Amino acid sequence: MKFVDQARIFVKSGDGGNGCVAFRREKFIEYGGPNGGDGGKGGNIILEAVDGLNTLVDYRYARHFKARKGENGSGRDRTGASSPDVILQVPVGTQIFDEDEDFLIADLDNLGDRIVLCKGGDGGLGNTHFKTSTNRAPRKATPGHPGEERWVTLRLKLIADAGLVGLPNAGKSTFLSVVSAAKPKIADYPFTTLAPQLGVVGFKSHEFVLADIPGLIEGASEGVGLGHRFLGHVERCGVLLHLIDATQDDIQGAYETIMEELDLYDAGLLDKPMIIGLNKCDAIPEEFIEEKMNELAEVTDCEVIPLSGATGFGVQKVLAALWEVVADDRARRIAERAAKEGEKAVKTVSEDEDSSGGWSPL
Asked if the model's pLDDT at residue 228 lies above 90, the reply is no
- Dump pLDDT digits (tens) for 158-167: 888 888 888 8
Task: Order the strands of the 6-12 sheet from edge to edge.
Answer: 64-66, 6-12, 149-156, 94-97, 104-108
Nearest to 184 by CA among 214, 217, 220: 214
Residue 182 one-letter amino acid: A
Residue 11 one-letter amino acid: V
pTM: 0.77
Max intra-chain CA distance, the chain:
109
| Cβ atoms within 10 Å, residue 14 | 29
Q: What pLDDT does 2 receive?
A: 63
Is 45 within 8 Å of 14 (Cβ atoms)?
no
- Dump pLDDT digits (tens) for 35-60: 999 999 999 999 999 988 888 888 98
Is 211 within 8 Å of 176 (Cβ atoms)?
no
**For residues 271 and 294, what is the distance between their CA atoms, to the nearest angstrom?**
23
* Of the candidate ranges 175-179, 201-205, 214-218, the one whose mean pLDDT is the lowest: 214-218
* Of the candidate ranges 110-119, 131-140, 179-188, the one whose mean pLDDT is the lowest: 179-188
Greater model confidence, 357 or 181: 181
Nearest to 54 by CA among 273, 200, 171, 269: 200
**For residues 38 and 19, what is the distance between their CA atoms, to the nearest angstrom?**
5
Asked if the model's pLDDT at residue 351 lies above 90, the reply is no
Q: What pLDDT does 83 receive?
A: 95
Binding residues, by number, are 166-173, 191-195, 212-215, 279-282, 308-310
Greater model confidence, 259 or 214: 259
Domains of the chain: residue spans and CATH:
1-156 (2.70.210.12), 162-327 (3.40.50.300)
pLDDT band at residue 213 under the 50/70/90 scheme: confident
The full DSSP string for 276-343 is: EEEE-GGGS-HHHHHHHHHHHHTT--SEEEE--TTT-TTHHHHHHHHHHHHHHHHHHHHHHHHHHHHH
The full DSSP string for 24-75 is: ---TT-SS--B-PPPPPPPPPEEEEEETT----THHHH--EEEPPPPPPPBT
- Dump pLDDT digits (tens) for 100-129: 888 999 999 888 899 999 999 999 999 999
Run of H or E residues at 216: none
Q: Would strands 162-165 and 206-212 be described as parallel, antiparallel, or unpaired?
A: parallel
* Residues listed for the chain: 362
Run of H or E residues at 150: strand 149-156
**For residues 294 and 68, what is the distance between their CA atoms, to the nearest angstrom?**
66
Binding residues for Mg(2+), by number, are 173, 193
Q: Percentage of the chain with pLDDT > 70?
A: 87
**For residues 3 and 55, what is the distance between their CA atoms, to the nearest angstrom?**
6
**For residues 33 and 24, what is the distance between their CA atoms, to the nearest angstrom?**
6
Asked if the model's pLDDT at residue 316 lies above 50, the reply is yes
Is 106 within 8 Å of 88 (Cβ atoms)?
no
Binding residues for GTP, by number, are 166-173, 191-195, 212-215, 279-282, 308-310
Is 127 within 8 Å of 138 (Cβ atoms)?
yes
- Dump pLDDT digits (tens) for 248-257: 888 888 889 8
DSSP symbol at 233: G
Q: What is the mean pLDDT of the chain?
A: 84
Please report, for residues 60, 77, 143, 146, 255, the alpha-carbon distance to residue 167 in angstroms, rounded to integers and kept in the order given. 30, 70, 61, 52, 9
Asked if the model's pLDDT at residue 362 lies above 80, the reply is no
**For residues 251 and 292, what is the distance between their CA atoms, to the nearest angstrom?**
7
Greater model confidence, 286 or 187: 286
Q: How far does the chain reach from its first CA to its final CA, in angstroms?
A: 62
Q: What pLDDT does 30 receive?
A: 73
Q: Would strands 162-165 and 239-245 be described as parallel, antiparallel, or unpaired?
A: parallel
Q: What pLDDT does 167 receive?
A: 86
Run of H or E residues at 348: helix 315-355
